[in-house]
Chains A and B, each alone.
Chain A
Amino acid sequence: MEAYPVLDQKDTRSGFGAGLLELGRRNPNVVALCADLTGSLKMDAFKKEFPERFVQVGIAEANMMGIAAGLTIGGKIPFTGTFANFSTGRVYDQVRQSIAYAGKNVKICASHAGLTLGEDGATHQILEDIGLMRMLPGMAVVVPADFNQTKAATLAIAEHEGPVYLRFGRPKWPVFIPAEMPFQIGKAQVLVEGADVTLIACGHLVWNALKAAEELATRGVRAEVINMHTIKPLDEEAVIRSVTRTGCVVTCEEHNRHGGLGDAVAQALATHRPTPQEYVAVNDTFGESGTPDQLLKKYGLDTPDIVRAALQVLARK
């Protein structure tokens, strides 16, 4: 069962960079802003080809969010680029007042999210950003699974009217979503069908969920894998449809167990169809330095952790 072969190993941030460059060519209103992390965000190609539409703001993220909000007045579609920590927690009030409350069409593009940032450690490994952003009224929250999907998502959010938080990461990661697979904000993707347990994942952990499903299959457990690339608006129908068949669910995310994908799914299920659920998420702690693989293992986000959670939730059915 290798429904999704590894096509390549690429970082999702490069998917953002590729998408942004294509957007620059397609849409003259697309403007990019960066706070001294152009290389890290893979925005170099856009900057080189469209220097007049690239704004280097320096290490001043609050100012960047305000400038982005102002650029929408005049019809621009600004894409801000910095690390996830500096895109959310550092500038929460600017995002809240000048972008979300003001209803501005800003695309907040955030790299180096979660533990897989690696050796820089907990100061930079934000694990609270999905929660922060999904609490803001009107803010869409998109967490694509691989390079191809991050590129597709970058293109898609330009067409979406309103503020968006796009979260991606640093490490090279398996590319397994076919480039031609359609991407629609708010529309979950059932990657593998199964009848026993639903695995709902976002970001890097979609790959781990696929691997976990393979492992579960060897034990006779048929896992359904859903790529929930949009946390908000959540595709509640897809969640309910799946758990109606499977009767239990595991949510998988590179985020604190508070406020993220797991809570979004739990909220939908508690309201519409109470269902046993296990969380694969960081257990309300900060991260630390280490390689991405080491950190995913230590903090319980690896494939065997998903398998274990699936067996646990199956026992609760």
Chain B
Amino acid sequence: MSTTPTAATATKASISELQRIASQVRRDIVRQVHGVQSGHPGGSLGCADYLTALYFNILRHDPANWDMDGRGQDLFFLSNGHISPVWYSVLARSGYFPVSELATFRKLNTRLQGHPTTHEGLPGVRMASGSLGQGLSVAIGAALAKKLNGDDRMVYTLHGDGELQEGQIWEAAMFAASKKVDNLISTVDYNGRQIDGDVEDVLSLGDLKAKWSAFGWDVLETEGNDMTALVATLNEAKGRTGKGKPVMILMRTEMGQGVDFMMNSHEWHGIAPNDQQLAAALAQLEETLGDY
């Protein structure tokens, strides 16, 4: 435990800086989940690069002056709230709250609830999520408010691929295209895995690109664990906003990315590493910003 420097947010981090931050974020993830022996490391590790790129390169935001309305700022909504460890790490490392608070994850009286919530007043979080399928609708509402307020900033969302089995997602998808909500960039964590196994076996999503295209979205595809490709795609997505269509990024990731024994399986969706497994995981992840 130490006073830990937060990564700079005022400037856009370079690709190599982003990679260094993401390594620390991955350490934060496995340490949070190990510390309480509870939580969801797999999806969190898979999305560490995305959230790092978003918060340290893409988003126009001001962590020091956070407020609920977020006028004049880009907004982010985590719809698949179970990957809270990665979000909490990135929020803390961006300066929304002290990094030392990561040690309270999922513990009694914490602001870092198992699934993210506004209820405890954690800066950076604007919506409760965890019950899946709701975040896209919320993001659309926030995007409409931005249009009504003459605010030209963007709204970003992240969803799990398994989450797309929820019907509300498709209600929202239909709405966003029909009403031309074009200040919205959504991303699907397309790791192909969910609690009960492979998405393909549990309930196939079919041709996901064709589905979103047919719903009227501008669809991009990227590799979510390749920082260079990811940043390029997010910038490409920004360039496609304001043209009458919502933008969807289908982001291929590997659940458990960065920790070899957590990869290539759905087994680490929602279980915590023991002491030996923690040590084995941390040995693969460079401590770049100092552990909390």
Contact = CB atoms under 8 A, between A and B. Distances in A.
B117 A66 contact: no
B145 A73 contact: yes
A101 B128 contact: yes
B143 interface: yes
A102 interface: yes
Interface residues of B, number: 39
B70 A74 contact: yes
Interface in A88-120: 93-94, 96-98, 101-103
Nearest to A29: B148
B175 A60 contact: yes
B140 interface: yes
B167 A74 contact: no
Contacts of A93: 131, 134
A74 B127 contact: no
B130 interface: yes
Contact of A94 (B69, B119, B134): B134
Interface in B62-93: 68-71, 75
B142 A71 contact: yes
Q: Would you call the interface of chain A mostly helix, strand, loop, or mixed? A: helix
A62 B141 CA distance: 13
Report, as a range, how many residues of chain A touch the other chain: 20 to 34
Contact of A73 (B68, B128, B175): B68
A68 B144 CA distance: 10
A69 interface: yes
B168 A75 contact: no
A31 interface: yes
A70 B79 CA distance: 12
Nearest to A64: B137
Contacts of B140: 63, 66-67, 70
Interface in B165-215: 167-168, 171-172, 174-175, 178-179
A78 interface: yes
B128 A98 contact: yes
Interface string A40-71: 00000000000011010110101111111111
Chain A CB within 10 Å — which of B127, B138, B171 has the most?
A: B138
A68 B119 contact: no
A52 B69 CA distance: 20
A79 B148 CA distance: 15
A124 interface: no
A60 B174 CA distance: 10
Contact of B175 (A67, A96, A98): A67
Contact of A58 (B134, B148, B174): B174
Interface of A: 31, 52-53, 55, 57-58, 60, 62-76, 78, 93-94, 96-98, 101-103
Given A62-B171, A74-B142, 13 more contacts: A55-B179, A58-B178, A60-B168, A62-B137, A63-B137, A63-B171, A67-B140, A67-B144, A70-B138, A73-B127, A73-B138, A97-B130, A102-B127
Interface of B: 68-71, 75, 117-119, 126-131, 133-146, 148-149, 151, 167-168, 171-172, 174-175, 178-179
